[in-house]
Amino acid sequence: MKVVVTGGGGFLGSHLCEALLARGDTVRCLDNYCTGEPLNVALLQGDPRFELIRADVSMDFDVPGHVDAVAHLASPASPPDYDRLPLETLWVGSRGTENALRLAQRHGARFLLTSTSEVYGEPLFHPQTESYWGNVNPVGPRSVYDEAKRYAEALTMAYRRSRGVDTGIVRIFNTYGPRMRPDDGRVVSTFVRQALAGDPLTEYGDGSQTRSFCYVDDLVRGLIAMLDSEHSGPVNLGNPDEFTVDELARLVIEATGSSSVIEHRPLPVDDPTRRRPDITRARDLLGWTPRISLDTGLRRTVAWSAAGRRPVRRSSSGEPVEA
């Protein structure tokens, strides 16, 4: 296929570009690098089937030639980023999503929206199924991201119902792996950076809040399965194994061999206390389940971070090796 990936220079987008190229697709990667990095796709630029286009998808844009699929991943995706870029986050969720939908409509292409588990807010039901409407604070500090994604979902379904665009929605739960920025504010990248430096690991709250951590390779398999399907979704993509933040901190200390201690700080406003996906729909419709354990995924992430975040290729087993 000929696939456009918005946000393709980001953590998740770059892995999707790599996986699409590996199976023989042609990829046009669009990014304005407000949170992505050119380094993420450095090894892809020698491939004649890969094209990097510097563009802000919140503005009108087009790409030359035919398009079979549009994967819309562009957005800041961690609290420090959308705190720093609140309007940009709202714009890419609204204008950016519509521009990407119009591109798909013009070409009769499949459209994939990467939404988020944040649409569930502070969930009143556990685990979260796709039928749960969520418990989101629409004016809180996280609302620029939560509501941008909720609007993007509504817009995607409106284009499907009223204009016949072939759309699909996935809701992504906590994902981690190589190419996460050390300062992006997500818990895995923060803990790994602190542990490698021998600094205290900062836990917010008492560490009892839970998350479900999905390794990036597993998540990308789910994205491609949804891209190749005809399902509209939404479909949860995440690892249903639930860990407390305190358990994660101790696993990172073990994986890095660090002597770091754990320090506690106040829990941020609207930070969810429990998060775990019900992936029945992904399993039944897409045949998708995660394969990589948290231990294995953390070891790979730590190896990449300890190597200085250089571009890496992967062995057949998924292990990072020198480029």
- Give catalytic residues, as residue numbers: 145
Q: What is the dihedral of CA 187, 190, 195, 198, to 10 degrees?
A: -140
Say if residues 141 and 291 touch (Cβ distance below 8 Å).
no
* Residue labelled with tokens 């895995």: 188
What is the distance between the alpha carbons of residues 198 and 182, in angstroms, rounded to a whole number? Answer: 14
Q: What is the DSSP string of 257-286?
A: T----EEEEPPPTT--S---B--HHIIIII
**Are 172 and 237 spatial neighbours (Cβ–Cβ below 8 Å)?**
yes
Among 299, 288, 173, which residue's Cα sits nearest to residue 241? 173
Contact 45, 68 (CB under 8 A): no
